[in-house]
Amino acid sequence: DTAVSQTPKYLVTQMGNDKSIKCEQNLGHDTMYWYKQDSKKFLKIMFSYNNKELIINETVPNRFSPKSPDKAHLNLHINSLELGDSAVYFCASSLNRDRVSHFGAGTRLSVL
């Protein structure tokens, strides 16, 4: 009964490839997020969706394209992967009025 689940947990790929990470939440939340954690453990928001609508896009390269088919899902597609994209990507969700974000276990992306 995982609350926020991401797949895959690990992703190793070559530079220039395109990859996707999937996220699903079963908490009934209306807002979902993608955060990036770099090699120094610094966490920064990338995107936020509320009821399938893009709310936040934090100057992320347009090689990154989030898609929210419904309130419970937020996927992240990355085109033309670069070495600098190597990081841990966390999905999170929250109920708007609650302000508490629940995080997935993360996807560790390694670009070779």
Partner 1 sequence: AQSVTQLGSHVSVSEGALVLLRCNYSSSVPPYLFWYVQYPNQGLQLLLKYTSAATLVKGINGFEAEFKKSETSFHLTKPSAHMSDAAEYFCAVSDYGGATNKLIFGTGTLLAVQP
Q: How far apart are CA 75 and CA 47, in angstroms?
A: 11
Whats the size of the chain, residue-wise?
A: 112
Compute the least distance from the CB of residue 42 to partner 1, in Å. 6
Helix (H/G/I), strand (E/B), else coil: 88: strand
User: What burial class does residue 65 get, using C-beta atoms within 10 Å of its C-beta: 0-12 exposed, 13-18 middle, 19+ buried?
Assistant: middle
CA-wise closest residue to 71 among 89, 100, 49, 91: 49
- Residue 30 or 65 having the CB closest to partner 1: 30
- Residue 14 or 53 having the CB closest to partner 1: 53
Compute the least distance from the CB of residue 43 to partner 1, in Å. 4
- Residue 15 or 27 having the CB closest to partner 1: 27
Beta-ladder partners of 37: 43, 88
Compute the least distance from the CB of residue 36 to partner 1, in Å. 11
Beta-ladder partners of 29: none
Residues that bind partner 1 (CB under 8 A): 4, 31, 33, 35, 40-45, 48, 50, 53, 55-56, 90, 92, 94, 96, 99-106, 108
Compute the least distance from the CB of residue 80 to partner 1, in Å. 27
- Residue 44 or 82 having the CB closest to partner 1: 44
